[in-house]
Amino acid sequence: MCEPTTLLLAATVASAGVQAYSSIQAGRAQYRADMFNAEIANRNADAVERERLQVSEQAVIERRRLGERARAEAGELKAKYAAMGLGDFGTPADLIGDVGRAYMIDQSGLNANEISGLETLDKQEADYRDQAKLLRSSAKGALRQGYLGAAGSLIDGVAGVSEVWMAPTSSAGTGATGPKKPRTTTQSGVKRTNADGTIRVGG
Query: pLDDT (tens digit, 9 = 90+) per residue, 136-175?
Result: 998 888 888 888 877 777 777 767 666 666 665 544 444 4
**Where on the phi/psi map is residue 190: left (φ > 0), alpha (ψ -120 to 50), or beta?**
beta
Query: pLDDT (tens digit, 9 = 90+) per residue, 43-62?
Result: 999 999 999 888 888 888 88
Q: Determine the 3-state secondary structure of 113 from DSSP.
A: helix
What span, in angstroms and rounded, lies between the C-alpha atoms of 80 and 73?
A: 10
Q: Determine the 3-state secondary structure of 199 from DSSP.
A: strand
What does the pLDDT read at residue 44? 92
Query: pLDDT (tens digit, 9 = 90+) per residue, 61-70?
Result: 888 888 888 7
Contacts of 129 (CB under 8 A, 6+ apart): 41, 42, 45
Dihedral sign from CA coordinates of 114, 115, 121, 125: positive
What does the pLDDT read at residue 186? 44
Pairing mode, strands 199-201 and 185-186: unpaired
**Predicted TM-score of the model (pTM):** 0.54
What does the pLDDT read at residue 89? 55
